[in-house]
Amino acid sequence: MSIWFGRCVGAASLLAVACGGGLEHKVDDTVLGDVPLQDKKGMLDAKAEMDRTVEERNLAQSRVATTKQDLEIAKDAREQAKLEADKDQARLDLAQKRTNIDEIRAANERLRVSRLAVRAGDGRIEWQQQKQKQNEAEVALAEAHQKLADARYELAKAQLAQRQDKRPSANFSVAQFERQVAEQERHHQAAQEQVQIQRAQAERLQQRYAELAQEYNSQRTQIPGPVPAITLPLPQ
C-alpha cells in the first residue's frame, strides 16, 4: 500500500467516525439556567463558534452545488468540441478523396486544432470533477469543525458546571469532555489533510487545463478557413 493511499484510508476512517452520530457527553443547558450571564463568557464564546460553523458548512455546500453546474457546462462544451472535430474529420476525408493537396493540408490543420479543443474539454471535465471532490472534502471539513465546536461548547458548559459546583450526572467528569474535544480535534485535523490533498490535485488539473485552453485559443485564429466559434474560458 502506498503512503499516499494509506493516508487517505486513515483519514477517511477518521472522517467516517467524525460524521457518525452525536456527541457522547453533554451537559443539559437547564443545569446552568440560574448561572449569572457574566459567568458564562466561555460558554457563550463557544456557542458563537458553533454558530459560525453553521455558516461555514452552508457555504461549503453551496460550492458543491456550483461545481456540479460547472461540470455540466464543461461536459456540454466538450460535446460541442467533439462535434466540430467530427466535422473537420469529414472535411479531411472528402479532401483526401479529391486528392487535393491544399485542401488536405488545410483540413489536417483544422482537425489538429479541433482535436486540441477536445483534449482541453477532457481536461476541463477532469478538473471540474476533481474540484467537486475538493468541495465535498471541504463540506466534510466544515462538518468536522461543527462537531469540534459542539464538543468545545459542551466542555465549556462542563467547566462552568464544575466551577459552580453543579453535577449534571452521577458520573460527571470534566476529563470526559476534554477527551471528547481531543477526539474531535483529531477528526478535524484528518479532514484538513483531506482538503489539502484534494486541493493540490485540483490545482494541478486546473493548471493543465489552463495550458491546453490557452494553446487552443491562441491557435484557433491561425488556421485556414473560418475561425472556429468555440472559445475555451481560462480559469479565474
pLDDT recorded at residue 168: 84
Measuring CA to CA, which residue among 61, 235, 40, 19 is closest to residue 148? 19
pTM (predicted TM-score) = 0.81
What pLDDT, on the 0 to 100 scale, is given for residue 4?
40
Predicted confidence at residue 21, as pLDDT, reads 59
Query: Which residue ranges form the domains of the chain, and what is each CATH number?
Result: 37-219 (1.10.287)
Q: State how far the Cα of 204 lies from the Cα of 133, in Å rounded to an integer.
A: 14
Distance CA 62, CA 29 (A): 32
Per-residue pLDDT tens, the chain, 236 aa: give them: 333 434 443 444 334 434 445 899 999 888 888 999 888 999 999 999 999 999 999 999 999 999 999 999 999 999 999 999 999 999 999 999 988 899 999 999 999 999 999 999 999 999 999 999 999 999 999 999 999 999 999 999 999 999 999 888 888 999 999 999 999 999 999 999 999 999 999 999 999 999 999 999 999 999 988 899 899 999 98
- Buried b or exposed e, range 158-189, using 16+ CB within 10 angstroms: bbbbeeeebebeeebeeeebeebbebbeebbe
